[in-house]
Amino acid sequence: MSDSSSATVTAALLVIGDEILSGRTKDKNIGYIAEYLTALGIDLREVRVVPDVAEEIVAAVKALRAKADYLFTTGGIGPTHDDITADCVAEAVGVGISLDERAVAMLRERFPNPADLNESRLRMARIPHGATLVDNPISRAPGFMIENVIVMAGVPSIMQAMLDDVAPKLRTGRKMLSVSVDTGGLPEGAYGTALAAVQKANPDVMIGSYPNFDGQRFRNQIVVRGRDADVLEAGRAAVEAMLQQLHAEKNEHDSKNA
């Protein structure tokens, strides 16, 4: 894993599967991959979820791999007819696809009896030409990386193992650091204008405000993000000072009206 100093490395994620769009399966991969890549020093810039439709998958692979340094995909690499990701990625990248002897060897470890390594299971050994394989320690059928596209399983535990396998091979950038400041009960509307001024005065950090509603009241977090620890700290201090002043004004106002 090379830390290429100040360079930013970006990624996109394509989640493939009718079952996510129908709501039958609740995706668990987007949040996991987002957090994982952030920790690695790769900025996730866009996520798309598309159905098991070849033209849609091919179009999304082409669009997203052009927009980011890496494109990760999840889903659609199993042995059944609706698993069409490998073929779509081959088409999008513009290479051929056929049975890969390295992948067949991996499947043989799981299915030593030749009768069990049937036509359906062999579909999982169809790999685009020129790809490197991504190890699947759980059920052996590999993922793969071709050019800047990394193809992984949809089953979360297998996807996670594949991500661990491929991560050390990726180029990474300077990590995005972040710090959260609780607003101590102050609502967004009370600090919105002041926070905009803090953002303007600290253009090298990104400041976001995130309300959380627990059914009774909002608990807000202000999140400051940036790649430089000193700049981040200056941004955090400015947010804290802004909140302190608003709390002081509020206390003064409350005591006057007591």
From 46-54, 88-96, 228-236, 238-246, give the range in contact with a second copy by CB under 8 A.
Answer: 46-54
Q: Considering the complex, what minimum distance in angstroms separates the CB of residue 123 from a second copy?
A: 7
Q: 129: which DSSP letter?
A: T
Tell which positions 22-41 bind a second copy, by CB under 8 A: 22-27, 30-38
CA dist 91 to 22, 31, 98, 101, 155, Å? 26, 28, 12, 20, 24
The answer to whether 21 contacts a second copy (rule: CB under 8 A) is: yes
Burial of 194 from C-beta contacts in 10 A (0-12 / 13-18 / 19+): middle
Number of residues that bind a second copy (CB under 8 A): 72
Among 109, 119, 230, 254, binds a second copy (CB under 8 A): 119
Distance from C-alpha of 132 to C-alpha of 143, rounded to nearest angstrom: 9
- For the bound state, the minimum distance from the C-beta of residue 74 to a second copy, rounded and expressed in Å, comes to 13
Which 86-115 residues touch a second copy, going by CB under 8 A?
A: 111
Compute the least distance from the CB of residue 130 to a second copy, in Å: 26
Nearer to a second copy, 147 or 188 (CB): 188
Residues in 161-180 that interact with a second copy by CB under 8 A: 176, 178
Q: Which residue in 139, 133, 36, 135 sits closest to 79, CA to CA? A: 139
What are the φ and ψ backbone dihedral angles of 149, each rounded to 5 degrees? -110, 125
| Interface positions, 120-159, toward a second copy (CB under 8 A) | 120-121, 123-124, 138-139, 155, 157-158
Which of 106, 195, 205, 238: binder of a second copy (CB under 8 A)?
Answer: 195
Q: Tell me whether residue 31 or residue 114 sits nearer to a second copy (CB atom).
A: 31
Task: Tell me if 68 contacts a second copy by CB under 8 A.
Answer: no
Tokens of 233: 């700290």
What DSSP string runs through 37-52? HHHHT-EEEEEEEE-S
In the numeric block, which tokens belong to residue 165?
A: 């396998």
DSSP, res 125: G
Q: Among residues 95 and 240, whose Cβ is nearest to a second copy?
A: 240
| Range 208-247, binding a second copy (CB under 8 A) | 208-213, 215, 218, 223, 225
- For 251, phi then psi, to 5°, come to -65, -40
